[in-house]
């Protein structure tokens, strides 16, 4: 599976123009400033000055647009591998869940689309997922101590210096260690949590201090926040609209613009913002895509239904089982997804914009491996329904996987 996914990424990287990805040119300007002037860019030099610098340092060292794409593809491959390793730690006797988690992560369109772009998200996701894996491993094997916490903190710190979405995973990991200390009446997980926090802050705090001094906020963004009260910045439609009809007929911009759930769903399973396989002339216009490009996106809306339902089932079940069995390792997985979702929602409310272009599933890419684990576990429950049901679900999933691959493999 890893070899097949590596081949897919290799094909896509060499059939995807690096400039097609969102913020690609602004990202390259950031790397140019670091390489040529050895300093952080100003607000006048690039629109992504608010992004932490680690990815751009790497990009400046690579000094090749195609090389950065290959680097991101390798990061995505690491994420897929870590999904299988996390499942192995939680379910060491189930090869089915382990392989299922790895496969589902590889078949996540949002991961493959991000992997071929010139963008910091794949690196941040690989680092944050690796940190979560270390915490899960330490918890399940009873080895949560200072060393484990410091190593996880190192990865979380580096992830935070790439994209700040990693902070939610660090918080979820600390909560899981705190719960383990409480349930087991053991000080070692507390020491692990303290080490995790200390190392993460030691690495990331200088960036946040710089942002506060230079731009007035540790989480400064390239668009100013409105003056309205926080919870009045978004209309009710932003939270409540589902737009089922358009999601399964026109799942791309500008349809249901600024509607949170349908945009995230369409962008996770398809390509809501038109950045993947669409010609430059069709990225923004016309509003209705030609059938050649609309049909695959419509199919992806249907492809995502079954794994999304099983993923939601796994999310609830992990919370219930984690509490019932007193297994903080199980709680960490849905906890990380939940805190990432809350961080993403806070960002969406803090910086609302009419064009809605901040509602990107790529910003939730850290959830790719945890969601794959949750879904794989839930799908494994089908075996309890008997052989006929198992075969039927397997055939359905195989058909959906074929459709997904048809979408993910870029045309020559």
- Give the Å distances, CA to CA, from 324 to 121, 183, 185: 35, 12, 17
Three-state secondary structure call for residue 91: coil
Encode 303-337: b = buried (16+ Cβ within 10 Å), e = exposed: bbeebeebbebbbebbbeebeeeebbbbbbbbbbb
Classify the C-alpha dihedral 371-157-154-199 as positive or negative: negative
Classify the C-alpha dihedral 400-402-405-407 as positive or negative: negative
99, containing H or E segment = helix 95-106
DSSP state of 120: S
pLDDT of the residue at 240:
95
Rounded CA gap, 126 and 124, in Å? 6
CA angle in degrees (0–180, nearest 5) for 404-4-7: 95
Question: Is residue 159 a contact partner of residue 127, using CB atoms and an 8 Å limit?
Answer: yes
pLDDT of the residue at 78:
98
Question: Is residue 299 a contact partner of residue 252, using CB atoms and an 8 Å limit?
Answer: no
CA angle in degrees (0–180, nearest 5) for 28-359-256: 130
* pLDDT values of the chain reduced to their tens digit, one per residue, 412 residues: 999 999 999 999 999 999 999 999 999 999 999 999 999 999 999 999 999 999 999 999 999 999 999 999 999 999 999 999 999 999 999 999 999 999 999 999 999 999 999 999 999 999 999 999 999 999 999 999 999 999 999 999 999 999 999 999 999 999 999 999 999 999 999 999 999 999 999 999 999 999 999 999 999 998 888 888 998 899 999 999 999 999 999 999 999 999 999 999 999 999 999 999 888 777 877 788 999 999 999 999 999 999 999 999 999 999 999 999 999 999 999 999 999 999 999 999 999 987 888 999 999 999 999 999 999 999 999 988 889 999 999 999 999 999 999 999 999 8
pLDDT of the residue at 267:
97
Rounded CA gap, 137 and 288, in Å? 48
pLDDT of the residue at 137:
97
* pTM over the 0.85 mark: yes
Encode 223-238: b = buried (16+ Cβ within 10 Å), e = exposed: eeeeeeeeeebbeeeb
Residues 6 or more apart whose Cβ sits within 8 Å of residue 77: 2, 5, 6, 9
> Where are the strands (E) in 93-230, listed by range?
none
pLDDT of the residue at 210:
96
Rounded CA gap, 276 and 114, in Å? 9
DSSP state of 276: S
pLDDT of the residue at 334:
98
Rounded CA gap, 184 and 139, in Å? 11
């Amino acid at each position: 599976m890893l070899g097949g996914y590596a081949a897919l990424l290799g094909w896509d990287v060499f059939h995807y123009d690096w400039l097609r990805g969102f913020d690609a040119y602004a990202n390259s300007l950031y790397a140019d400033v670091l390489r040529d002037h050895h300093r952080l860019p100003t607000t006048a030099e690039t629109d992504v000055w608010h992004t932490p610098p680690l990815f751009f340092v790497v990009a400046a060292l690579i000094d090749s647009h195609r090389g950065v794409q290959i680097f991101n593809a390798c990061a995505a491959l690491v994420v897929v591998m870590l999904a299988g390793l996390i499942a192995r730690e939680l379910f060491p006797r189930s090869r089915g869940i382990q392989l299922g988690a790895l496969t589902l992560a590889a078949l996540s369109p949002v991961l493959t689309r991000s992997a071929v772009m010139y963008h910091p998200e794949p690196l941040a996701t690989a680092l944050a997922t690796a940190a979560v894996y270390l915490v899960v491993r330490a918890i399940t094997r009873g080895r949560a101590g200072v060393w484990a916490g410091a190593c996880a903190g190192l990865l979380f710190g580096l992830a935070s210096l790439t994209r700040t979405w990693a902070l939610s995973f660090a918080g979820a990991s600390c909560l899981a260690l705190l719960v383990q200390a409480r349930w087991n009446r053991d000080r070692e997980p507390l020491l692990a949590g303290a080490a995790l926090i200390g190392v993460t802050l030691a690495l990331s705090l200088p960036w946040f201090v710089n942002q506060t001094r230079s731009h007035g906020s540790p989480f400064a963004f390239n668009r100013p926040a409105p003056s309205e009260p926080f919870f009045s910045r978004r209309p009710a439609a932003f939270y409540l609209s589902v737009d089922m009809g358009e999601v399964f007929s026109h799942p791309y911009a500008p349809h249901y613009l600024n509607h949170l759930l349908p945009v995230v769903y369409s962008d996770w399973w398809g390509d809501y913002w038109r950045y993947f396989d669409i010609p430059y002339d069709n990225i923004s216009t016309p509003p209705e895509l030609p059938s050649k490009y609309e049909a695959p996106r419509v199919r992806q809306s249907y492809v995502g239904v079954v794994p999304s339902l099983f993923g939601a089932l796994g999310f609830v079940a992990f919370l219930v089982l984690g509490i019932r069995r007193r297994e903080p390792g199980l709680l960490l997985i849905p906890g990380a997804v939940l805190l990432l979702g809350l961080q993403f929602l806070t960002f969406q409310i803090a910086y609302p914009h009419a064009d809605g272009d901040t509602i990107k599933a790529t910003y939730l890419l850290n959830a790719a491996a945890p969601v794959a684990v949750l879904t794989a576990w839930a799908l494994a429950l089908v075996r309890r329904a008997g052989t006929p049901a198992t075969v039927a679900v397997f055939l359905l999933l195989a058909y959906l996987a074929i459709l997904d691959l048809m979408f993910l493999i870029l045309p020559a």
